[in-house]
Chains A and B, each alone.
Chain A
């Protein structure tokens, strides 16, 4: 039952369901009927549904039939209506078709136009897009082309700026283009290229600066020279400090020129702004010769490239290398002044450039670097100058060199470099200069002395007289009174030497010019040098003439006279120096001139030489002596050689103490010299004769020979007595022969008893006879006595004589011995 109930319930449900589906089918669209049908199929009761559906359809058909029956008339009317409409519709349809066709025809054009319009629109859009893109790209390309242009025209710094712009502003905006990629890739290359090119510019610059530093230096030195000339016109005592101020004025005016004449700096005006700051300090002109722009450009380019330090160190390294080259003096520098000038020009040029660089760049070079270079330059220059100047033997070259060094120092001082060391070195060169002067004057003096004729200067007229007196301070009232022709007492060499001493003083003075020395220092220097000239050079030259082989009495006597006059002229030399230096000789520090000593020494040497000379002549005569020591009888007169000798002495002294036939002032020995010469000659003659007599080679001599010898000594005594030179007191001259006289007297008079008895007493007649001498001579006489033994008739006599001789000899020996003990 349950089941029944259930089934009943179920069928109720199904029926409801079917009812709902059917309603759905009726109400919905055909399209949506699927799912509904599906639900039917999903259900189980297909049959029932179908039954229901059939039932429904029948219902509906009935309804339709009913409806149709009801509305049939209406229907027919409608159909009729419709049929009418159908005709009208056909007409309409035709009209529409027609219209449509017409429209189609009309529209075709429009479509074409539209099509065109569309195409245009598209083009327009494309164009505007292109324009947009191009506006972005064009500046880049413009920049790039500008860059190219700049590179081409070598304006590397702007190029570099452009490059930067390009890289940072323009390129990022259009980075996706391939050309941009290429550009970006190119940028480092371009940078490198710029770097290289500017570096090669710098190298060119460095090379040209090396070539030009000569010229720059020359110009700078010339300007310093002009400045100095200007200063010396302005003030009497040119000083560097004074010169500096006006130097700035000059430079200010020519700064304008510098600016005007450098188009390169205009081009790169941005870079050169730095220059203006210090330019007032610049000394003008020298740098005009150089276009510094490559340095500035390169410096800025490297700064921009961030390689400033590399650049700095490169620049300094290169310049340092150049400095070393410049400071290397050419090996033949000392030969000409030009050699030195070139050397200095190079150095000055170098430092002018560095100075300019220092002032026109910020820190490319700095003080420390320049100072270091300058220090090196100083030490090298000084060393080079020391070496080279020492080769120089020409004082005028040394002087020129000094002037050059002074100019060099002044020039560089003008640029602010410390140059004290150079002036210190100049003092060293001064010593050397003095040495070369001394050497030169040694030659000058030698020439004067060699070419002198050693005769008093003859004067025939007033003019010549005045001329000589003008050359040499000589005053002699007596000589002045004498009529022409007359003679100065001295020979040519006196005024010549005097003038040369003055010349030397001038030459010394020349060196001290521009050395900024005080007048006392100059005075001291001149006096020292002059003293060296007198005491060393002139003295040596005089001594050389005096000691020359074959020097004649004429020369010697004239030298004595000349030196006497030169000695007197020394005080005029003192005055001369004083006038030059304005330092009074009374000043404590002044050195005195030693000229007096020089001339005194020379005179003494000449006097000595006269004595020696005479003695040598005497010796030559004595070599002609030809005594026959074994002669039994003496000759009737003095030996020939001795007569000649005495004749020679007589005429010589006559000539030199009073020249015959010459009443003027003349070259005669002064009384004292003549006396000394005569005395020395007599003494030498006496000693030589004594030696001749005692000579060991003469083993024996006879009384006859001794008597002949006595005749000769008498001849000498006669000469001494005759007063060959005036001024001897009594028999002073004769005393020269006293030893000989007493010895001869003793032997000729055979006065042994007196000799031996009075021996040692001051009154002894034979006081000057030395027992040794007596013994030697006695031995020689004894030998002759022995030989003569052959003569038998004299035997006894001889024996006695021998005995006497033995006794005397014995006595003499004991005297000699007692002397010794």
Chain B
């Protein structure tokens, strides 16, 4: 079986129902947009392969239902995630306020070194904006998280967002690998050295 990638990054999209998580993912994976709102039931995922520094990276992006009733199912996916996108809707203040709760959820369920990013989606609908960009930015800074305003509809910053998160994960991995090789200890990241074709395959088996 020929391996078609060098790394597998598992990302997770969380945020209130209707902020556009599925649409962001749809834009990123299919470069398409659908105006009708079909709320996600449970969990879904899409895979897209990107290239970073000459490495093929498979991004398995999990799309969670924002609705409260699916919370037990979706929180189960926090643990395996290496990067989490926190999405709010700039035209919906509530969804922004809830970002704090989502961050608390992450702290509770995800691994401690998970890469995070805050996305203020629907930035094409400026006339309905309720949350200023500055407010978003400030929140992100408060938590020490990167921030972007995006629009799945107008395809603004979607690629950038996912690439940024992927790159941050990659950087963290490389740093860890260096730490591991220098210390020589096993560490939490499994490196299968007997494979010649690929450099390494990382799993988020940190806990």
Contact = CB atoms under 8 A, between A and B. Distances in A.
A620 B195 contact: no
Contacts of A454: 38
Nearest to B58: A624
A626 B201 contact: yes
Interface stretch (A9-17, A122-130, A159-167, A691-699): A691-699
Contacts of A640: 203, 205
Contacts of B3: 626
Contact of A652 (B37, B42, B58, B72): B42
Interface in A585-636: 617, 620, 623-628, 630
A656 interface: yes
Contact of B69 (A644, A647, A661): A661
A666 to B, nearest CB: 9
A630 B205 CA distance: 22
Given A625-B1, A659-B69, A692-B1, A451 B36 contact: yes
Interface stretch (A473-481, A551-559, A794-802): A551-559
B41 interface: yes
B139 interface: no
Nearest to B35: A451
B60 A624 contact: yes
A624 B36 contact: no
A454 B37 CA distance: 9
A54 interface: no
B45 interface: yes
Contact of B41 (A620, A625, A648, A656): A656
B38 A552 contact: yes
Contacts, number: 81
Contact of B4 (A452, A623, A627): A623
B69 A628 contact: no
B185 interface: no
B195 A660 contact: no
B145 interface: no
B51 interface: no
A453 interface: yes
Nearest to A558: B38
A662 B69 contact: yes
User: In this complex, which of A552, A630, A651 has the most chain B Cβ atoms within 10 angstroms of its Cβ?
Assistant: A651
Interface residues of B, number: 35
Centre residue among B1, B73, B203 by max chain A CB count within 10 A = B1
A271 interface: no
A382 interface: no
B30 A550 contact: yes
Contact of B36 (A452, A623, A625, A628): A452
A450 interface: yes
A550 B26 contact: yes
B37 A655 contact: no
Given A451-B36, A453-B37, A655 B1 contact: no
A450 B36 contact: yes
Interface of B: 1-4, 8, 26, 30, 32, 36-45, 47, 58, 60, 68-70, 72-73, 76-77, 80, 192, 194-195, 201, 203, 205
B192 A628 contact: yes
A555 B36 CA distance: 12
Given A552-B44, A651-B73, A695-B1, 11 more contacts: A451-B36, A553-B41, A554-B39, A624-B58, A628-B192, A648-B43, A654-B42, A660-B69, A660-B70, A660-B73, A692-B1
Interface in A350-395: none
A455 interface: yes
B41 A554 contact: yes
Contacts of B41: 553-554, 655-656, 659, 667
Contacts of A552: 38, 40, 44
Nearest to A698: B1
Nearest to B22: A552
Contacts of A630: 194
B39 A455 contact: yes
Nearest to A450: B36
A467 B38 CA distance: 23
Nearest to A691: B1
Residue of B26, B32, B42 with most chain A CB atoms under a 10 A cut-off? B42
9 contacts: A454-B38, A552-B40, A552-B44, A554-B39, A626-B3, A627-B1, A659-B41, A661-B68, A692-B1
B73 to A, nearest CB: 5
A554 B1 contact: no
B197 to A, nearest CB: 11
B38 A654 contact: no
A660 B109 CA distance: 20
Contacts of B43: 648, 651-652, 655
Task: Give the interface centre of A450, A554, A692 by most chain B CB atoms within 10 Å.
Answer: A554
Contact of A644 (B44, B80, B192): B80
Contacts of B40: 552, 554
Contacts of A698: 1
B2 to A, nearest CB: 6
A644 B1 CA distance: 20
Given A624-B8, A651-B43, A555 B38 contact: yes
A451 B73 CA distance: 28
Contact of A628 (B76, B77, B194, B205): B194
Contacts of A695: 1
B178 to A, nearest CB: 23
Q: For the complex of A and B, list the 7 residue pairs with the smallest distance between their C-beta atoms, beginning with the closest.
A: A661-B69, A655-B42, A651-B73, A554-B41, A454-B38, A451-B36, A651-B42
Nearest to B203: A640
Contacts of B36: 450-453
Nearest to B60: A624
B37 to A, nearest CB: 6
Contact of A623 (B47, B70, B76, B192): B47
A617 B42 CA distance: 15
Contact of B39 (A453, A647, A661): A453
B70 A655 contact: yes
A316 B195 CA distance: 100
A652 B42 CA distance: 7
Nearest to A637: B205
A453 B1 contact: no
A655 B80 contact: no
A453 B201 contact: no
Contact of A697 (B2, B32, B38): B2
Contact of B47 (A450, A549, A555, A620): A620
Given A623-B47, A652-B43, A697-B2, A660 B38 contact: no
Nearest to A451: B36
Contacts of B77: 647
Contacts of B192: 628
Contacts of A452: 36
B42 to A, nearest CB: 3
B1 A697 contact: yes
